């Protein structure tokens, strides 16, 4: 049984993101109140947080250093990329959230965490059984940048 994780970045404008990418931070918002029980039957939350805790500075993430900013400086692969997480139990995702609904949840996470810098990346993790429109038929994963 596989669980879906959908990512959306917010607080980025494309020019500033190129200049600030040397110290990326990844935040996770677990959307909905079911994450403590039926929304995570396979323990995905713990696995995701464990992975993000060790990804920064790893050989796996080293591949990003091939990219450069407009100034010529390499993008970062610092030892610490995980910025934190929280469960947004104040709202629940619809059964088929749209791109904009997921982006709005990422924006709420950015406001909650108070990081809208070009370094901030937000993963919006959806509970088990929630399938964004197009998932599995038009795409298998995606990312987006929103201001």
Is the four-CA dihedral 71, 75, 81, 83 of positive or negative sign? positive
Q: What is the mean pLDDT of residues 63-89?
A: 81
Choose between 65 and 54: higher pLDDT.
54
Q: How many CA atoms lie within 13 A of 138 on its CB side?
A: 5
- Model confidence at 9, pLDDT cuts 50, 70, 90, reads very low
Choose between 79 and 142: higher pLDDT.
79
CB-based contact 27:113 (threshold 8 Å) = yes
* Per-residue pLDDT at 95 exceeds 80: yes
Choose between 140 and 14: higher pLDDT.
140
The total of other beta-carbon atoms located within 10 Å of residue 86's CB is 12
> Which of 123, 135, 143, 133 has the alpha carbon at shortest distance from 31?
123
Choose between 102 and 75: higher pLDDT.
102
Choose between 118 and 129: higher pLDDT.
129
> How many angstroms separate the CA atoms of 14 and 26, rounded?
17
Q: Residue 80: what pLDDT? A: 86
- Model confidence at 36, pLDDT cuts 50, 70, 90, reads confident
Q: Residue 21: what pLDDT? A: 57
């Amino acid at each position: 049984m596989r669980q879906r994780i959908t990512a959306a970045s917010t607080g980025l404008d494309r020019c500033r993101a190129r200049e600030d990418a040397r110290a990326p931070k990844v935040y996770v918002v677990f959307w909905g109140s079911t994450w403590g029980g039926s929304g995570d039957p396979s323990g995905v939350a713990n696995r995701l947080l464990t992975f993000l805790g060790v990804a920064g500075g790893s050989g796996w993430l080293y591949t990003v250093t091939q990219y450069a900013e407009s100034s010529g400086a390499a993008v970062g692969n610092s030892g610490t990329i995980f910025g934190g997480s929280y469960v947004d139990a104040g709202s629940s995702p619809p059964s088929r959230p749209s791109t904009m609904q997921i982006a709005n949840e990422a924006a709420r996470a950015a406001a909650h965490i108070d990081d809208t810098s070009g370094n901030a990346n937000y993963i919006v993790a959806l509970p088990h059984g929630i399938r964004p429109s197009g998932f599995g038929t038009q795409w298998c994963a995606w990312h987006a940048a929103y201001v």
